[in-house]
Amino acid sequence: MARRSLLTALAGVAALAIAATACAPQEDSSSSGASASPASCAKDQLKLVKAGQLTVATDKPAFEPWFKNNDPSNGEGFESAVAYAVAGKLGFAKNEVTWVTQSFDASYAPGPKNFDFDINQISVTPARQKAVTFSDGYYDVRQGVVTMGNGKFAGAKSLAELKDAKIGVQVGTTSLQAVRDQIKPGDDPKVFNSQIDVVNALKGKQVDAAVLDLPSAFYVTAAQVEGSKIVGQFDVGGGSGKEFFGLLLQQGNTLVGCLNKAIGELKSSGELAKIQDRWLTAAAGAPVLK
């Protein structure tokens, strides 16, 4: 992924890193081609969990740069801003949006949902699409590799140089498969229950490197682990093809058509790009690892 100047934006802890995709350009990002929608996207015609209210889910804690101050409802942070922009396109005022908590790995489990859509850095994958419905992509993703600045693998210039590293990843994320497919380490990655567990493992030197989506990697180096650095970034690759985040809905929920319409309008108007520019600064400091 390309990026702009990063430490500057990072120091502010609000903006961090990334603009490109391990996928294709945003205009081409789509979930599964599912575009069924209600006869009308008028607010009063939408079938919602709670009438007159848009119910949005995300995990807790909600990390920067996706959310600010662990408060999804404040409209700050990339995903909070995207959620409210989509809500606005559907005709909902900010006070008509309700947030609920849903853990990352439970969000894409099959079954009924207590939310209209979930926004939580959830990459669209064929396996997940068997259990839930995804919107078109609102963000294209690459993986970032973080080590301690004085660590054994801090100078790695290629994926091959990371083969002997002990790598930490969060359970249920695409980072695990990306590491297996692209880095192919000698030892299987160490899997942790949450992102903060991965970060603590890096701090405690239980792992040599952590692999996360690139914006989160920039936040780790800027605000969570003093003395850490981003070694580089890489595409998911393999058979996965493009990687992008989509809004998650209960399987078969026809609201997806209206969400796709809203995302399309945000892209074509340039508003989505402005939100990304504000909260996810493209950084120039993460070389591509091949």
What are the tokens at 9?
A: 């934006």
Distance separating alpha carbons of residues 97 and 87, to the nearest angstrom? 7
Residues 14 and 114 in one domain: yes
Q: Tell me whether strands 16-17 and 280-281 are parallel, antiparallel or unpaired.
A: parallel
One-letter identity of residue 251: Q
Residues 131 and 107 in one domain: yes
Residues 43 and 134 in one domain: yes
Burial of 188 (0-12, 13-18, 19+ CB in 10 A): exposed
Ranges of H-type helices in 15-94: 78-89
In a domain, 289, yes or no: no
One-letter identity of residue 180: R
What are the tokens at 135?
A: 């919107």
Strands (E), the chain: 16-17, 54-58, 97-101, 117-118, 132-140, 143-148, 167-170, 190-192, 209-213, 228-234, 244-250, 280-281
Residues 136 and 152 in one domain: no
**CB distance 285 to 6 below 8 Å:** yes
Residues 122 and 18 in one domain: yes
Query: How many CA atoms within 13 Å lie on the side-chain side of 5?
Result: 4
How many structural domains comprise the chain?
2
Of the candidates 290, 23, 286, 247, the residue with the CA atom closest to the CA atom of residue 144: 286
Residues 132 and 272 in one domain: yes
In a domain, 23, yes or no: yes
In a domain, 40, yes or no: yes
Residues 148 and 219 in one domain: yes
Residues 152 and 82 in one domain: no
Looking at residue 253, what is its pLDDT? 97
Distance separating alpha carbons of residues 82 and 278, to the nearest angstrom? 11
Residues 20 and 108 in one domain: yes
* Domain enclosing residue 216, as ranges: 143-234
Sheet of 190-192, strands arranged across: 190-192, 167-170, 209-213, 143-148, 228-234
Whichever domain contains 213, its CATH number is 3.40.190.10
Looking at residue 70, what is its pLDDT? 95
Residues with Cβ < 8 Å from 221, sequence gap 6 or more? 10, 146, 228, 229, 230
Q: What share of the chain is helix, strand, coil (3-state, %, to 5)?
A: 35, 20, 45
Longest dimension (CA), the chain: 58
Residues 131 and 258 in one domain: yes
Of the candidates 158, 180, 181, the residue with the CA atom closest to the CA atom of residue 167: 180
Q: Tell me whether strands 209-213 and 167-170 are parallel, antiparallel or unpaired.
A: parallel
Q: pLDDT in tens for each of the 290 residues of the chain?
A: 333 333 333 333 333 333 333 333 333 454 444 444 456 899 999 999 999 999 999 999 998 899 999 999 999 999 999 999 999 999 999 999 999 999 998 999 999 999 999 999 999 999 999 999 999 999 988 899 999 999 999 999 999 999 999 999 999 888 998 999 999 999 999 999 999 999 999 999 999 999 999 989 988 998 899 999 999 999 876 544 578 999 999 999 999 999 999 999 999 999 999 998 899 865 446 888 98
Of the candidates 269, 158, 151, 241, the residue with the CA atom closest to the CA atom of residue 202: 151
Residues 177 and 254 in one domain: no
